């Protein structure tokens, strides 16, 4: 197999976009091409590789084993080219460049505000965000598809450097009319008859909740698993149950009073936000500037927006 001679970067770019969307039409839309043009380029790539990269599944497509393998290599090749371009831009200084940042889903509630402030101060630096679960972000870090990641646990699974950037409190929430909404510092066992709404197995938020149950020698009467923070918040507001959830997912609901904070002993459960990059990754000036911005500004920014809710609880307890 000697397809490198005829392989083009454009084909790799088209392949990666098509593989991400699993749709030729959506790839064509993003790349400002026609679907036939995308199909032709991918057909040429498959002919060069000598193996099918996509297979038809009903109206959509899926990656074959060969396509999945090529996807990882293509991301690394394009990542290296992006680094080369950024290195050259870096010669102009830290105020010019591009970088890609991956976020776990909980971080999407506060990171856009930090980005907006950073962009105002550094208009020459373009920051792109990718939102995904922890496993997806770890893979993207290893594939050099993102420069930095923001997550809630140190990634011991990979050779990465993690730096704490802000406190990350988890709080117990109930509907606005919960009977214990005004109670102060009550025991978790007072909620023994409640339904607890949990994130799916393997999620960071579920791990925090299960650790809390273990520490309090507590077993919920009933649990329901849900796939997103938004679903959990809507279910709590509807009176389906209560939940331990990141305080940083609640900016709107706390302002409107649609959700109540339950002042349970042992809460908030304190965790930490980390900014992460691979040890093998040489951060360029733009990436270093953004990393430093997060380390300096994330904590005070979150404290300014959310600190008053915890301060109110602390004041009521004294």
123 φ/ψ angles, rounded to the nearest 5 degrees: -65, -20
Q: Answer yes or no: do 225 and 238 share one domain.
A: yes
CATH of the domain at 125: 3.40.190.10
In a domain, 318, yes or no: no
- pLDDT at residue 172, as a whole number: 96
CA distance linking residue 1 with residue 203, whole number of Å: 41
DSSP string, 54-116: EEEETTEEEE-HHHHHHHHHHHHHHHHHHHHHHHHHHTT-TTSEEEEEEE-GGGGGTHHHHHH
State the pairing for strand pair 148-151/160-175: unpaired
CA distance linking residue 20 with residue 195, whole number of Å: 37
Range of the domain at 301: 94-166+272-307
Q: Tell me the average confidence (pLDDT) per consecutive run of 10 residues in the chain, 318 residues long.
A: 67 87 86 86 84 82 87 83 69 68 91 90 87 88 91 92 95 95 93 93 86 93 92 95 94 91 93 94 86 94 87 54
In the chain the beta strands, taken as DSSP E runs, fall at 54-57, 60-63, 97-103, 125-131, 148-151, 160-175, 195-199, 222-226, 243-246, 259-262, 269-278
CA distance linking residue 40 with residue 21, whole number of Å: 17
Assess contact for 80 and 108: CB atoms under 8 A: no
Assess contact for 28 and 37: CB atoms under 8 A: yes
Q: Answer yes or no: do 122 and 261 share one domain.
A: no
Q: Answer yes or no: do 27 and 78 share one domain.
A: yes
Whether residue 268 is preceded by a cis peptide bond, meaning omega within 30 degrees of 0, is yes
Q: Answer yes or no: do 265 and 278 share one domain.
A: no
- pLDDT at residue 287, as a whole number: 87
CA distance linking residue 201 with residue 305, whole number of Å: 30
SS3 at position 156: coil
| Run of H or E including 252 | helix 251-256
Tell which residue, 266, 265, 271, 257, has the closest CA to residue 309. Answer: 257
CA distance linking residue 181 with residue 254, whole number of Å: 13
Assess contact for 200 and 225: CB atoms under 8 A: yes
- pLDDT at residue 318, as a whole number: 46
- pLDDT at residue 42, as a whole number: 86
Q: Answer yes or no: do 152 and 299 share one domain.
A: yes
Query: CA–CA distance from 127 to each of 98, 123, 135, 168, 291 (Å)?
Result: 6, 10, 22, 23, 11
In a domain, 317, yes or no: no
Six-digit token string for 176: 């606005």
Q: Answer yes or no: do 294 and 157 share one domain.
A: yes
Q: Answer yes or no: do 143 and 210 share one domain.
A: no
């Amino acid at each position: 197999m000697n397809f490198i001679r005829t392989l083009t970067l454009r084909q790799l770019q088209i392949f990666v976009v098509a593989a991400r969307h699993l749709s030729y039409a959506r790839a064509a839309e993003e790349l400002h091409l026609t679907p036939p043009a995308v199909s032709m380029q991918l057909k040429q790539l498959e002919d060069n590789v000598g193996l099918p990269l996509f297979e038809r599944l009903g109206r959509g497509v899926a990656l074959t084993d060969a396509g999945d393998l090529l996807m990882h290599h293509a991301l690394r090749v394009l990542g290296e080219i992006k680094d080369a371009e950024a290195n050259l831009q870096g010669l102009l200084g830290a105020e010019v460049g591009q970088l890609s940042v991956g976020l776990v889903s909980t971080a999407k509630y506060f990171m856009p505000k930090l980005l907006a402030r950073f962009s105002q101060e550094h208009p020459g630096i373009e920051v792109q965000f990718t939102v995904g679960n922890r496993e997806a972000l770890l893979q993207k870090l290893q594939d050099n598809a993102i420069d930095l990641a923001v997550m809630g646990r140190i990634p011991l699974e990979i050779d990465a450097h993690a730096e704490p950037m802000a406190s990350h409190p988890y709080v117990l929430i109930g509907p606005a009319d919960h009977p214990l909404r005004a109670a102060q510092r009550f025991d978790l066992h007072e909620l023994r008859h409640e339904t607890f709404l949990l994130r799916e197995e393997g999620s960071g938020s579920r791990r925090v909740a299960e650790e809390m149950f273990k520490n309090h020698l507590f077993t919920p009467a009933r649990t329901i698993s849900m796939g997103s923070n938004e679903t959990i918040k809507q279910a709590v507001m509807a009176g389906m149950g209560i939940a331990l959830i990141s305080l940083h997912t609640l900016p709107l609901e706390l302002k409107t009073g649609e959700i109540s904070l339950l002042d349970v002993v042992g809460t908030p459960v304190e965790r930490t936000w980390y900014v992460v990059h691979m040890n093998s990754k040489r951060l360029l000036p733009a990436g270093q500037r953004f990393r430093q911005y997060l380390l300096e500004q994330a904590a005070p920014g979150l404290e300014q927006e959310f600190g008053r809710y915890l301060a109110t609880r602390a004041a009521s307890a004294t």
